[in-house]
Chains A and B, each alone.
Chain A
């Protein structure tokens, strides 16, 4: 069997991995010059399903809790399992209470326990939440690593590929083009996310820290070598343009509130990506015109791509063997006319 995958972001690469380990002949056509050219490149890389439950349905916890193990197996050495620390400035402790009420699988920490986890935050926060089962990875290293691993497994990559890349001779075509499919995949929209990278030798963090604030919730993920990724805004827009002054100011303000030493940090990068999202902000795959469309990973690319990729691979396998059966999965393709996301506001139309 030969499968063509369009797109070498986190969706395309994870689907390729799931197929390649089964010995399937996989080709990836990517329009950019290198892998991870879309939203994946600007991701936080947090494998934090329990924290995400604050604004996401239970499905995200169920499908995301295996992500750290998947990445560990696919790319040994990349996953850092040190949990997530959630704090808020003293006057916003109501936000912490609210966050705790929406989530589970955490411990309440006092200032001494926060100090034990992150000594640089000593005396800065009186209360916090610790999600000890969560993990994180560096998305760019993971994308590059997975690309190398797949190439070594015999997956063929075509970078700078045209949209009309020839499909002759392929048994399945899988579209993993993310936000580039906005306008062609029904219901798909963009949610802009802006981020920046700070560099300072004066702060050490060993795990992602989320700072709750009623207007500007933010996370800081340590990337090693004194680098910190600070993100991310959530704006309903397909705009990929540079970060706005307001967003830059708010992200920097929040970083400064977490630790004043960030005031002296160097801003070594700013960026903006567009998260491909369906109306319920959950990913899915569907089949029409003989193309398997995998999309809608929203802000959960590294978290939910493994589970989604496994389902896509199972779908391809079951469609290639007669009488194959498999358990139903949440990403089961359904007839286009019934798909809720085709017409999310349908009932009032």
Chain B
């Protein structure tokens, strides 16, 4: 069972709630995914005010844990303020911390991220930082008080899938005991299976499901892929080799034919 800040969760899929065709379809996707945790953007869904009441009410009725996020924040102070609003609105000290540094790639501003993580951790927040695959930044985030890391595998919404497998491998190897959740860039179930095979603890998705023609079916497909990848990681996979390895015995046959 995956443990995040002392809370056990059974699903290894975290689902975003933005950009679905309708709240009813969002609810279908959440149910089909069997997820335990959904993330909700306070800023984007509310124009900075607190009047997104009806939408938040719908989210609350989903019966899953809410991980509010600070999507769209570009500075430390914006992110800290949004986190505090989120704590009030959703009565949770969990926060997915996003501080965006580049408008086109939505790459995190890792300097501001570490700073905001330090402030929020010291104020009792349980911070889930959206970060890159940089090991030094990861160290700094842990020093700042984070107990979970959420590296991207490609830019948000790009659907490219893991673009730097060696970096993800070394991140897993460097932090064997820290829950690592791949947060952004997943486009297809096979991408999710790939990072789970590397030993990542969970996957966070939004666009890949919300933008599918049938979001509920796609959510279920991802759940299957994530379970398959996790099971394969534990089952011990073969390493690739450059020669055939016959699966039937060759004894009794001429070796040099």
Contacts and interface: CB of A to CB of B under 8 A. Distances in A.
A300 to B, nearest CB: 12
B176 interface: no
B23 A344 contact: yes
Contact of A190 (B48, B54, B62): B54
Contact of A279 (B24, B49, B213): B24
Contact of A348 (B45, B48, B63): B63
B173 interface: no
Contacts of B49: 237, 239, 241
B61 interface: yes
A189 B58 contact: yes
Contacts of A236: 45-46, 52, 54-55
Interface residues of B, number: 27
Interface in A310-349: 340-341, 343-345, 347-349
Contact of A189 (B30, B54, B64): B54
Contacts of A282: 22
Nearest to B55: A236
Nearest to B72: A246
Contacts of B44: 235
Interface residues of A, number: 33
B63 A237 contact: no
Nearest to B21: A55
Contact of A345 (B58, B211, B213): B58
A43 to B, nearest CB: 19
Nearest to A245: B48
Interface in B187-210: none
Contact of B22 (A239, A280, A347): A280
A33 interface: no
A274 to B, nearest CB: 10
B3 to A, nearest CB: 24
B25 interface: yes
A238 interface: yes
Interface of B: 21-25, 27, 30-31, 44-49, 51-55, 58, 61-64, 157, 211, 213
29 contacts: A57-B21, A101-B213, A188-B54, A189-B54, A189-B55, A192-B47, A235-B45, A235-B46, A236-B45, A236-B52, A236-B54, A236-B55, A237-B47, A237-B51, A237-B52, A237-B55, A238-B54, A279-B22, A279-B23, A280-B25, A281-B21, A281-B23, A281-B24, A344-B27, A344-B58, A344-B61, A345-B58, A348-B27, A348-B30
Given A237-B47, A238-B51, A241-B49, 15 more contacts: A189-B58, A236-B45, A236-B46, A244-B48, A279-B23, A280-B23, A280-B24, A280-B25, A281-B21, A340-B24, A345-B58, A348-B30, A348-B61, A348-B64, A349-B63
Q: 10 closest Cβ contacts across the A-B interface?
A: A189-B54, A236-B55, A345-B61, A280-B24, A281-B22, A348-B63, A279-B24, A236-B45, A279-B23, A55-B21
